[in-house]
Amino acid sequence: MSILKPVYKVYEWYISRNLSPENMPKHVAIIMDGNRRFSRIQGNIDAIEGHKRGIGTLEKFLDWCVDLEIEIVTVYAFSIENFNRTDREVRGLR
């Protein structure tokens, strides 16, 4: 078992415990960045698999936003520079 899972559980508990409707944001934005870097760090994960894991993380984040009643979420997932990647990777990002 990864040590990160229990750490994230504690972090989620801490964050949710300290949130209140009075200071809840109505709009949050996230920039999808670091999935290829994650793949390289892992050593044996293909870049497209790294992107898929990033999507999984985004889905968890969006669930969290729904639970917290955040009204607007903006996700930046693909920049113009991404078109400079290999055709296979660009197709894998669709």
Residue numbers annotated as active site? 33, 82
Between CA 61 and CA 68, with CA 63 as vertex, the angle to 5 degrees is 95
**Residues sharing a CB contact under 8 Å with residue 92, sequence separation 6 or more, in sequence order:** 47, 48, 51
Tokens at residue 19, please? 């949130």
